[in-house]
Amino acid sequence: MRSKSLTRPLIPGAGKLRCGVAMLLAGWTCLAGAAEPEGGWKWPAGLHGYLDARAGVRTQSDPVEEDSPLHEIRAQLEFSPAIGDIRFQVRGDLVWDGVAEDDRVDLEEGTGPLDLREAYLTVSPLDSLDVKIGRQILTWGTGDLLFINDLFPKDWNAFFIGRDIEYLKAPSDALMASWFSRWINLDLVYTPRFDPDRFIDSARLSAWSPMAGRLVGRDVAMAVEVPDQWFQDDETALRLSHNLAGYELSLYGYEGRWKSPAGFDPVASRVTFPRLSVWGASVRGTLGQGIGNLEAGTYESRDDVGGINSLVPNSEVRVLAGYERELIRNLNGSVQYYAEIMRDYQDYRANLPEGMTARDEVRQVATIRLTAMALSQNLVLSLFAYYSPSDRDGYVRPVVTYRVDDHWTVTGGANWFEGEEPATFFGQFENNNNVYASVRYGF
């Protein structure tokens, strides 16, 4: 078990700016130097990426957090060489992070001055087989910012504090084998060591602590046990898919663990990642004037069969239905309905410790997305909102993006949480409401 404490001292990031900028400049100079031919400077062919400066601020004070959950500069570099039939993909960020207090590079958690997003090779040993080995971003399933059968790691901090949406997906260190035939395609992903979500980090976001019975942040240590034994604490995910005249049909399986710490070990006083199996299915295709999708999954919480252990999450059935269409030209709208149905609710109620608030048997969430484009699609206004009638909480994400030219993009956005209870999923973040802005130069 890898143990760590998520407590961060309340020290502002003084002095880090110089260090970070120096590091970025050093990296830049190295790249430029490597690329400089005798005749003068030339950017290396095939090297792409961006520079992104981004800052956010809370719109209300939080007694246990800094005013800013986000101020950072990222230089993302991407290179995609090929040697014969072997294709490589390397993409990583050099980061100056003004909020994180820990400067050490941790590629698992994506902290420190290097965040390696991708480093994999792809080979096709057979015409019908692709194999991808290494660090990779993986996504499947049909939900829009709701995930049932996509059990690949997410970065919820990035999502809630205003990083670009691409950072919601955290990388997996895995082997992916994909076999294709006329009738069925099979994707198999083996992760030899458990890759958890980059779950809520108390250095940036205050959240509900059932143990403390209040919202906690930098003031309270949350001890976490991350299973990290190679080939023992592993994960396997598979998908069988078929495209039937434009209708995408998929079956899914997953064996691993709850991706964010969902259990609690009272002896060690640590949050844990209990074992989990998921089986599911989805369909997506044209429906009327738009696109409809249905997805379901059954979550087997293998460390609590029967639902009698209150320290381990119960098994659930999760379902999702969505519909998207163009409302008028340059304005798209979508709606989704999502439910988590607890399978052993009576046992859950019977075994709930005294004083703990019981959740509903069915947690329901509805979402809406509106995307408008103007000025030759250079201005994009996007609004995504979650509302849970069962938890009586919600979360709204407005984002405005303007492409100034082919290189420069400016973005502004907000993350706004609302809830009646501090213990519900979105309600717990009510002190983290924030607005942010970014400037990006892509090349």
| Minimum CB–partner distance for residue 78 and another protein (Å) | 9
Counting contacts by CB under 8 A, is residue 123 touching another protein?
A: no
Q: Which is nearer to another protein, 137 or 383 (CB)?
A: 137
- Answer for which of 290, 300, 345, 396 binds another protein (CB under 8 A) is 290
Per CB under 8 A, does 330 bind another protein?
A: yes
Region near another protein per CB under 8 A, out of 10-18, 64-72, 214-222, 281-289: 281-289
Token code pair at residue 327 = 């409302």
Q: Please give the distance of CA 232 from its chain centroid, rounded to a whole number.
A: 24
**What's the closest the beta carbon of residue 373 comes to another protein, in angstroms?**
8
H/E stretch holding 4: strand 2-5
Among 185, 209, 260, 390, which residue interacts with another protein (rule: CB under 8 A)?
185
410 forms part of the interface with another protein (CB under 8 A): no
Q: Which of 29, 60, 243, 357 binds another protein (CB under 8 A)?
A: 243
Please enumerate in sequence order all residues whose Cβ is within 8 A of that of 250, keeping only pairs 6 or more positions apart, or say none. Answer: 140, 141, 142, 149, 239, 240, 241, 242, 281, 282, 283
Cα separation values, 240 from 187, 280, 281, 282, 299, Å: 7, 10, 9, 10, 18
Dihedral (CA of 375, 379, 380, 383) sign: negative
Using alpha carbons, select from 441, 407, 438 the residue that is nearest to residue 72.
438
Task: Write the binding mask 140 to 159 for another protein: x where contact by CB under 8 A, - elsewhere.
Answer: x-------------------
Per-residue three-class SS string for 397-423: EEEEEEECCCCEEEEEEEEEEEECCCC
246 contacts another protein (rule: CB under 8 A): yes
- How many Cβ atoms sit within 10 Å of the Cβ of residue 10? 12
Nearest C-alpha neighbor of 209 from the set 220, 199, 197 = 220
Span between the terminal Cα atoms of the chain, in Å: 41
Among 169, 218, 257, 275, the residue binding another protein under the rule CB under 8 A is 169
Residues 160, 69: Cα–Cα separation, whole Å: 9
Give CA–CA dist 104/75, Å, rounded: 18
Choices 194-202, 212-220, 312-320, 372-380 (CB under 8 A): range interacting with another protein: 372-380
Q: How far is the CB of 352 from another protein (least distance, A)?
A: 37
Contact with another protein (CB under 8 A) among 209, 236, 241, 390 = 241
Q: How many CA atoms lie within 13 A of 275 on its CB side?
A: 9
x-marked contacts with another protein along 34-73 as a string, rule CB under 8 A: --------------xxx-----------------------
Check residue 376 for interaction with another protein (CB under 8 A): yes
Q: 253: closest CA among 144, 149, 136, 147? A: 149
Site size for another protein, by CB under 8 A?
A: 48
225 near another protein, judged by CB under 8 A: no
Indicate the residue among 104 and 329 with the shorter CB distance to another protein: 329
The smaller minimum CB distance to another protein, of residues 71 and 169, is found at 169
Task: Catalog residues that contact another protein under the rule CB under 8 A.
Answer: 48-50, 80, 82, 85, 87, 122, 130, 136-140, 165-166, 168-169, 178, 180, 185, 241, 243, 246, 248, 284-286, 289-291, 293, 324-326, 329-330, 332, 376-378, 403, 405-407, 409, 442-443
